[in-house]
Amino acid sequence: MRSILSLLLLLVVNYAIAQLPKDIDREIVFRSVNVIPMDSERVLENQDVIVKNGTITSVAATGTVKYSKEAMIVDGKGKFLMPGLAEMHAHVPPVNDIEPMKEVVLLFALNGITTIRGMLGHPKHLELRQKINSGEILGPRFITSGPSLNGNSVKTTQNAIDSVRSQKKAGYDFMKLHPGLTKENFAALAVEAKKQKHPFAGHVSFDVGVWRAIAAGYATIDHLDGFVESLVPGIESIKEQETGLFGMFIGKQADESKIPALITALKRQNIWVVPTQALAERWMSPSRDAESLAQAPEMIYMNKNVVTTWLNNKKSLVGNPKYNASETESFIKLRRKLILECQKNGVGLLLGCDAPQVFNVPGFSTHHELAYLVDAGLTPFQALQTGTVNVGKFLKKKDLGLIKKGAPADLVLLGANPLETIRNTENIEGVLMGKKWLSKEFITESLKAIAATK
């Protein structure tokens, strides 16, 4: 019985994969659609957006520009077209098998995420990147770090130098730093990275601290790592084990008058910030309890053992003797304030939420992150910028994250206006990834197929 059942499940999965959308070579026209171009906060009503070969060829008032009779027409009446979103702190399984990666990148795509930055690289990810680019695998544009550089993988300055050279040579897009690097090894890594023009991003090691990280020129600092620690007077005499993840156990000692100096330094050095606030709001926050998060609708797309692990992760954090609910609330508020200060003072924010980590399901959690940015005080437009036009600027990819003639056709069709309510980004009617159209039916069927395997 069991084997028949698993065979059936296999068929369901294969069915979804067999139905992957084909490249559309003719023109695609979103007719009479409301466009959110993202160049400024505005809606262009009643437009025809024409796409050909993965590029937007025209955006104009409906009926004013001709297109071919064979064009594929998407009725956009009453709907909203925005650029596809980017998830700038994603995780793709770092394993020697490409199969489990396919589902993760598909989950992102089904949620309107058209670019992801992989934050824990693996040699197999280079193959994944190539197969996504060639169209063999359906997934968002994929930028990937090399394997983790941390206190275990980098033990000497020579290790640091060799790692930069070998990761650059292997063809990774950048380096991901994790905790545990010493000042000396980090300094050697940063100098070599500059020589090799190979960027580094991610965590700030405790011994390094945010000031050295900023001076050394991180491409992005993720999780606001090191920010809270930098506000705590006498941090030099506090042991790393006492601080908690991202400084959560020492937040109450933060001196908020130190915030402007931190923000000024980030701005001056042009450091981009990926807050991954979803991690704090979902994992750390006492106001979202573990049991109800485990029941959230999108948990059906994760393996049950993963959800159980997340449940236990949260329970063990909350059960830690150092965990204090009201102090954690204040810590989360402090993080919100840091995010808002970055926004107000022109520090570039990028959308990212660290899925699949504790209660963050790939794709779905990116939309939660948008809402958390709005909770932090950003307007919906500013929140959308972090996942669209800011990403184009950060990646130096012309017109990525915009809707205009010549821009890449990474597009999401929504049933309602996200500038009014940010949660409307979840109301997805279809996703265009270059020449591939993910219709609402395809999205619904694929999600069903994924859930059926769990």
| Least separation in angstroms between CB 283 and Zn ion | 12
Q: How far is residue 105's CA from residue 127's CA, in Å, rounded to a whole number?
A: 14
Residue closer to Zn ion by CB (options 51, 119) is 119
Q: How far is residue 270's CA from residue 317's CA, in Å, rounded to a whole number?
A: 34
| Least separation in angstroms between CB 29 and Zn ion | 39
| Least separation in angstroms between CB 165 and Zn ion | 24
| Least separation in angstroms between CB 107 and Zn ion | 16
| Least separation in angstroms between CB 225 and Zn ion | 10
Q: How far is residue 65's CA from residue 266's CA, in Å, rounded to a whole number?
A: 45
| Least separation in angstroms between CB 358 and Zn ion | 11
Residue closer to Zn ion by CB (options 38, 119) is 119
Residue closer to Zn ion by CB (options 87, 341) is 87
Nearest to 155 by CA among 185, 187, 176, 179: 185
Specify whether the CB–CB gap between 170 and 126 falls below 8 A. yes
* Structural tokens at position 420: 């009014």
Residue closer to Zn ion by CB (options 47, 277) is 277
Q: Which distant-in-sequence residues (6+ apart) come within 8 Å of 237 by Cβ? A: none
Q: Which distant-in-sequence residues (6+ apart) come within 8 Å of 42 by Cβ? A: 36
Residue closer to Zn ion by CB (options 107, 119) is 119
Q: How far is residue 447's CA from residue 88's CA, in Å, rounded to a whole number?
A: 22
Q: Which distant-in-sequence residues (6+ apart) come within 8 Å of 30 by Cβ? A: 47, 48, 49, 51, 74, 76, 81, 411, 413
Residue closer to Zn ion by CB (options 387, 408) is 387
Specify whether the CB–CB gap between 339 and 275 falls below 8 A. yes
User: How many CB atoms neighbour CB 55 within 10 A?
Assistant: 15
Residue closer to Zn ion by CB (options 281, 410) is 281
Nearest to 260 by CA among 332, 340, 377: 340
Residue closer to Zn ion by CB (options 31, 122) is 122
SS3 per residue for 264-322: HHHHHCCCEEECCHHHHHHHHCCCCCHHHHHCCHHHHHCCHHHHHHHHHHHHHHHCCCC
Cis peptide before 233 (omega within 30 of 0): no
Residue closer to Zn ion by CB (options 352, 430) is 352
| Least separation in angstroms between CB 353 and Zn ion | 9
Q: Which distant-in-sequence residues (6+ apart) come within 8 Å of 98 by Cβ? A: 124, 127, 128, 131, 137
Task: Provide the binding-site residues for Zn ion, judged by CB under 5 A.
Answer: 119, 354
| Least separation in angstroms between CB 432 and Zn ion | 28
| Least separation in angstroms between CB 148 and Zn ion | 10
